[in-house]
Structure 1
């Protein structure tokens, strides 16, 4: 116990800031112009979610999670940190979960109300993951190859999917579909904090906003279920 207590968070981050952002850049260089397809899938998922086509909206991100799990984590991130392999398998589990729910329709919100605050929060997070996050690197002095893109890099994939979950899921399925995205965004924020990268505050804000949305939608769903229906 004393040995574990002597460890600090930075002891679990065995790479430097330059090495980490070079990994991000390598992903961008290697898979361009696949970004165009992944962004199109993300945009389509958001539009379908808003139109109530929740099963298809849930299915589209599934291959993106599997791709990031293998190409980013297992094949590359794991070379820097042994925990990268486990993160990759978690992303694959998320891909399977999304695919299963999409095929069965279980736990999906068939008619999301666009005026509902949690769904508006989800929409904001999804758009931020799709459009906002790729702009952070170039706006802060990084190269365009360091732009983190949905379906290529882990952070925007998790952020956008958390937003989609708030739109298309309900009940316990909402939490089940959000656990891995929330945990990864939190881990990534802590990693960037240790690396002294200024972007970590953004990820912590995403976690906080996402949790507010999750609790809010859960309370809304519970209130709807507890309201007696008025029959003739």
Structure 2
């Protein structure tokens, strides 16, 4: 029996870079012009978080996670990777957790955002996911359909959500709700590393 050291990361990515880019483009084409709505919802969540209306922000964020879980992972990504369904269910679980936090009021920030380092980092991450991420794709020559937009694609949704969580939540629920976005970003980073280096 193998000890696992003979495996390489490339063996766990069952698709090529071209296939993955085509998947992203297909997703973009399938849901256009929903991109505009999800992006506006993301900006609204950020504005609510900055105005200390964190309960409303968390309630609006939850369905976007459920949507990405279903539309991105279960409906599309699972065609390429057997783990897509499981990741989709994890995103839906994150949506449920965000909704429960909002409804219970536990873990929500009790004071308005200030200039603490966590809030500043949160704002930078939120803006990166909402504005920066789509423009990275556009600047690298991707079409509008391939531009990864918050609320449609997983990476910008996870990045922006980490920022929003730093602004809206406190205590152990902040850390608990950050697990799924962080795990996805690790998986995505490793996937991109393999695709760009193969």
Shared fold (TM-score, shorter chain, > 0.5): yes
1:171 corresponding residue in structure 2: 171
1 CA distance for matches of 2:143 and 2:3? 41
Structure 1 residue 194 corresponds to structure 2 residue 194: yes
- The answer to whether the 8 Å contact 1:54/1:110 transfers is no
Structure 1 residue 109 corresponds to structure 2 residue 105: no
2:86 corresponding residue in structure 1: 86
2:119 corresponding residue in structure 1: 119
**Offset, 1:4:** 2.5
**Offset, 1:141:** 1.6
Query: Greater CA radius of gyration, 1 or 2?
Result: 1
- Equivalences for residues 26-175 of structure 1 within 5 A: 26-175=26-175
- The answer to whether the 8 Å contact 1:53/1:110 transfers is no
2 CA distance for matches of 1:110 and 1:41? 23
Deviations 1:166-211 (A, max 9, x none): 00111100101100011111110100000017xxxxxxxxxxxxxx
2 CA distance for matches of 1:112 and 1:140? 37
1:205 corresponding residue in structure 2: none
* Structure 1: segments with no counterpart, 5+ residues: 198-232
**Offset, 1:112:** 3.5
- The answer to whether the 8 Å contact 2:158/2:182 transfers is yes
Deviations 1:69-125 (A, max 9, x none): 111101111110101111000000000000111111111112133211110100110
Between stretches 111-120 and 17-26, larger displacement belongs to 111-120
1:146 counterpart SS class: coil
1:60 counterpart SS class: helix
1:129 counterpart SS class: helix
**Offset, 1:3:** 5.0
**Offset, 1:149:** 0.4
Between stretches 179-188 and 108-117, larger displacement belongs to 108-117
2 CA distance for matches of 1:28 and 1:21? 11
2:4 counterpart SS class: helix
Deviations 1:135-191 (A, max 9, x none): 111101221211000110000000000000000111100101100011111110100
1 CA distance for matches of 2:28 and 2:141? 16
- The answer to whether the 8 Å contact 1:112/1:119 transfers is no
Deviations 1:10-69 (A, max 9, x none): 111000001101111111111011111101110010000011101011111111111111
- The answer to whether the 8 Å contact 1:27/1:72 transfers is yes
